[in-house]
Each structure stands twice: as C-alpha cells, then as structure tokens.
Amino acid sequence: MRKKIIAGNWKMNKTVAEAVELSNEIKRELADCNSVDVVLCPPFTAVKSVSDVVSETLINVGAQNMSSEENGAYTGEISHSMLKELFVRYVILGHSERREYYKETDFWINKKVKKALEKNLRPILCVGEKLEDRESGNTEQVVEVQVREGLKDVPAEAYTDLVIAYEPVWAIGTGKTATSEQAQEVHAFIRSIVKDMVGEDAANAVRIQYGGSMKPDNAVELLAQPDIDGGLIGGAALDATSFAAIVKAAM
C-alpha cells in the first residue's frame, strides 16, 4: 500500500512573516498527521522559518527547486547542502513553470533528480502536457519523454524515495481540473513506463501525485483513483483550511 503524499507548492508567495503564519495555521490542523505524508514547499527565503515552525511535528518541508551542482560560481542557485541544513526532505524538480519560463530541459532536470537522490533528498519530478499536446493527441508521447528523460539512469531501488507529479499544464492555476478518469489514465500510463524502465516492484512503489487545480471539493474523487497517490497543490495550499481539507481527503 503506497502512503498518500500531499505537498503544498507555495510558488512565489508568502513573505517570511506570512509563511510563519500559514505554517502555524497548518500545524494546528495537521501536526500529528501520520497516515498521509504532508509537505510544505515555501519559497527559499521562508524555508528556515517554516522548518522551525514544524520542527516538532510530522510535517515535512520541501523546496521548489535545487541546483544540480555542488557549490561554486552559480549565481542565484541553491545547493542540496544548503537545503539539508534547513531540514528540507523533498524538492520539487522540473515544475512546468520552470520548464516554461526558465527553459529547464529534461537533461538538467535529470541531473537535479540524480543529485537529490544521491544526497538523500526526495525529488518530486513534475511532468505534464500542455493544452496543445492534449488537443493534438500527444499527451502520452510528451509525458513519456519527460518520464524517461527525467528518470534516466535512476536505479530501481531509488523509486521508493521518488515522487512523480502528473500536472497537466492546462489545469495548473486555471480552475480546470483533469477529470478523475483523465488523470487516472495518465497515472496508470506513467506507472507502466516505470515498469518498462525498471521493473514491477519499482512501479508499484513509486508514488504519483496529481497536480492542477486540486481543491477540497475534487480531491476525494481524484484521490480515490487506484494510481493517484496524492496531490501537488498550488492555489489551495495558500489557505490552511483548504490545504488541511485536502490532506483529510487523503486519509
């Protein structure tokens, strides 16, 4: 049985003061939650403060990106050791906004995934098609390339620490959610690719989250699908009540 995982991707929202307030509200609701893995991914500037707030709880902290390099002359980048020092456990990699606005490619995303795993950070690898891909019938082809390239050379035993987030780009922040059938279909497809790449045990172990306008009112149905193991939540993660309601839907 795969444990469900609900992660809040706060994106470029929340000053330190606001992040402390939000994480305290979430802590009041979810401090002892052990049936679902809960992850908060604040912007870098608030990671330390959020880590401090949740330090004595079961809530995990994640980052929204990470450098593939160790250290050195990489202006504006953040390394694995900087994150681990702040008790970060998870790191979102290859989010569609990073692919789209910062031109991140599968090659670099794969380097980051491998670096994170090597350093005991759990990657949340985001994949997903754009609206034009779906409309032209290319969803599977696009997702397959992102999965195969993003996870290239990742050994089978690493898949228990790895999370894949299927986020159809047309559903992110738009209020349009994939139907639970549409999402389940792609999740099952992703699991079949993993099986083909590294075998059945890894395919059964890897957790695949859905992301894209997941809200309390659609979470129950999405999370009831056999291959949907959690959610990567953007907008609804900025409100403690909504986020907690989604976590409760996963229990």
The contact set with ligand PGA (CB under 6 A) reads 9, 167, 172-173, 211-214, 232-236
**How far are the Cα atoms of 28, 37, 52, 239, 248 from residue 33, in angstroms, in the given order?**
11, 8, 18, 18, 9
Residue placing its CB nearer to ligand PGA in the complex, 139 or 234:
234
- What do you get for the CA distance between the two ends of the chain, in Å? 13
Name the residue whose CB lies closest to ligand PGA.
Answer: 234
Which one of 97, 104, 167, 187 is the catalytic residue? 167
Residue placing its CB nearer to ligand PGA in the complex, 112 or 202:
112
As a whole number of angstroms, the distance between CA 177 and CA 212 comes to: 6
Which one of 80, 95, 97, 104 is the catalytic residue? 95
CB of 251 to ligand PGA, least distance (A): 20
Residue placing its CB nearer to ligand PGA in the complex, 106 or 167:
167
Alpha helices in the chain (DSSP H): 16-30, 44-54, 80-85, 96-101, 106-118, 131-135, 139-150, 180-198, 200-205, 216-223, 240-249
Q: Provide the 8-state DSSP code for 9.
A: E
CB of 192 to ligand PGA, least distance (A): 23
Look up tokens 């309390």; give the residue: 216
Does residue 95 carry a catalytic annotation?
Answer: yes
Residue placing its CB nearer to ligand PGA in the complex, 172 or 194:
172
CB of 130 to ligand PGA, least distance (A): 13
Q: Which residues are catalytic?
A: 95, 167
